[in-house]
Structure 1
Amino acid sequence: MRDFVGCLANQAAMVAEATCSVNTSASAMAEPTVQDAITCFYRTVLSSGKELFTQVVWSANQVGGAFLSITVQYGISPSKPHAYLVRKKKGRRSFAAGDTAISLHWDTSAAAYESGPEPSKAFYLAIVADSEFALLLGDMCGRFIEHFGATHPIAAFSMVSRREQVSPREQVPGETLYSTKAALVDGGKEHEIMIRCKGDELNAKESELYVEVDKKEVVSVRRLRWNFRGNQAIFVDGSTVDVMWDVHGWWFCESSRCAMFTFRRRSAMESRLWLDGDLEQGFSAFSLLIHVFKNQ
């Protein structure tokens, strides 16, 4: 998948939030070693017709540090980037992107986490652009809107892509499991997705890969030594969703035991499986990319 940063020009803003003590020296400003990371991409269309593209990354490194980073791009005009590194769990930052006034607001001081680095409740993250709410995330956004100014209009925004870089949440002997939740169809309900892999390279004949949506098996692959890459079309909420898998790293790479799973709704104009190059033409449908790092 084309990296979202490649879709952005140099105009950017970043907020990095650490839950542990952070050295403020120049070396400490570098990005931490990330173990788990959830990256979400959003597209906003303001009432003026202007477009904003936002990348939100929730991440955690191996020593227990949690980080929030935000990148905001107005249009495609390149200019000097705006970057911030803060340790506060609540705050705001303002800057201008072209002729658009943008402010970031966040509060994760009481955030609750179910699993992984992304908070599940008791937080908010908001972007205000030209006196419009350009992005609202978290269950505390209602309180933020009332405090900030309930008369401000809410612009049309949507998630266009989600990328998860994770380790398996649960393991039993001989079996690797990972589960997540996502709405695979624009405007559709959130579905529970389960990825399950059985066997290993020493027991290739018995190896199996299963993908379930809402506890219903939708993909079943056996003999992964020969079928470690593939794709299959499934139907979710009345739409065609292409599922692609690549578990080569789990089986043949000692240094990087990573598997990739991609889910993307096929748009009405597409009659075939999408290719990586197609994504460079723009975000025509929501996509979910999962990188699962198998335990050594």
Structure 2
Amino acid sequence: MRDFSCFGENGVQIADAASSSSSASVTTSSGKISQNLVTCVYQCRLRNFSCLIITITWSKNLMGQGLCVQIDDSTHQCLCKVEIKPWLFSKRRGFKNLEVGSKLIDIYWDLASAKFGVSPEPLVGFYFAIVFNQDLILMLGDMEKEVKSKIDASSFAPNVVFLSKKEHIFGKKIYSTRAQFCGKGQVHDIVIECDLLGTNDPCLLVRVDGKTLMQVKHLRWKFRGNYTILVDGLPVEVYWDVYNWLFGKLMGEAIFLFQTCLSAEKLWAGQTILEPSWSSSFRRDSHSQGLGFSLMLCAWKNE
């Protein structure tokens, strides 16, 4: 992802398929966190039973809030990529019409009244919608009436599966987020706690809705591993890699993966967790094998 700027036509930048391999960085040369990112991946089924993969990255940096949407076909070829620049000075609502070959893609957003927490992903008071060949295929937010009144579409019944979410979280001892592990299930509060100061034998805790579901003692010997917890009656496999916290750089990240399908373990066989290719490889395999929802957390320690 290129560096954001607040200026330009409607604060929108279009990237072609050739540039889709670029990704956003969260560290500068000095090791400081420069940008907070949340990446969500959705699978949208079309009328002809083919699928599109839509990746939305919400970002926050010193210039403000921004987002990027990439649309891939079922073969994971990028159809288009649109970057909506930070809106510290630019408009928070708009639309973009694209023509990709014989395909018509319309993207609409309204974040003028959006409410945010710590995360760059909006909570309420917004909508983000994509229309593909006159069919609404994705609608995010809580402004359904506004979407239907402003969007020209022949169908308003999207068939969408939320595949995965990758989020950067920050803290000194406690790291928290919220996640929904199944389509219409409960939204859960997830807290990861790890105190590395003042002890020679740190312990890792994972709590869901205030209840401790996982405890890892002797963390210096068990800095990588996996464990199964139950959420909404479903098994959720939790993988962790806290090597950088214990033995790496001061600002290093720890990786946590919550996967609702136990067969995800097969994807980890023979792979090193913190290799740069790991996350992209996992994403491709999870799509092709039809795995359940996955939540990947990159936990950064604040100074």
Q: Normalising by the residue count of structure 2, what TM-score does the alignment of the two structures yield?
A: 0.77
- Hey, what does 1:204 align to over in structure 2? 200
- The one of the two structures with greater contact order (alpha-carbon pairs below 8 A, sep at least 6) is 1
Task: Map 1:128-139 to 2 at 5 A.
Answer: 128-139=131-142
Among candidates 235, 259, 264, match of residue 259 of structure 2: 264
- Hey, what does 1:44 align to over in structure 2? 44
1:58 has 2:54 as partner? no
Task: Map 1:23-172 to 2 at 5 A.
Answer: 34-61=34-61, 63-76=62-75, 78=77, 81=80, 83-84=82-83, 86=85, 87-149=90-152, 152-168=155-171, 171=172
Among candidates 226, 234, 238, match of residue 231 of structure 1: 226
- Hey, what does 2:191 align to over in structure 1? 194
Cα offset, 1:83, TM superposition:
4.5
**Contact (CA 8 Å) 1:260, 1:292: kept in 2 or not?**
yes
Letter of the 1:275 counterpart: L
- Hey, what does 1:284 align to over in structure 2? 291
Alignment partners' CA distance in 2, 1:215 and 1:16 = 39
- Hey, what does 1:7 align to over in structure 2? none
1:295 has 2:302 as partner? yes
1:143 counterpart SS class: helix
- Hey, what does 2:276 align to over in structure 1? none
Letter of the 2:55 counterpart: Q
Cα offset, 1:57, TM superposition:
0.8
Decide whether aligned partners of structure 1 residues 79 and 143 sit closer, same or farther in structure 2, where only a CA change above 3 A counts: closer
Letter of the 1:53 counterpart: I
Letter of the 1:204 counterpart: N
Consecutive unaligned residues of structure 1, counting only runs of 5 or more, are 1-13
Cα offset, 1:283, TM superposition:
3.7
Report the number of matched residues: 265
- Hey, what does 2:213 align to over in structure 1? 218
2:123 counterpart SS class: coil
**Contact (CA 8 Å) 2:71, 2:80: kept in 1 or not?**
no
Cα offset, 1:151, TM superposition:
5.4
**Contact (CA 8 Å) 1:126, 1:141: kept in 2 or not?**
no
For residues 10-34 of structure 1, give each alpha carbon's deviation from its aligned partner in whole angstroms, at most 9, with x where no partner exists.
xxxx99986xx4589xxxx996864
Cα offset, 1:291, TM superposition:
0.2
Q: Normalising by the residue count of structure 1, what TM-score does the alignment of the two structures yield?
A: 0.79
| CA root-mean-square deviation | 2.9
| Percent identity for Structure 1 against Structure 2 | 29
Cα offset, 1:117, TM superposition:
0.9
Letter of the 2:94 counterpart: G
Alignment partners' CA distance in 2, 1:240 and 1:32 = 32
Decide whether aligned partners of structure 1 residues 138 and 82 sit closer, same or farther in structure 2, where only a CA change above 3 A counts: closer
Consecutive unaligned residues of structure 2, counting only runs of 5 or more, are 10-14, 16-21, 27-33, 270-280
Alignment partners' CA distance in 2, 1:188 and 1:64 = 35
2:147 counterpart SS class: helix
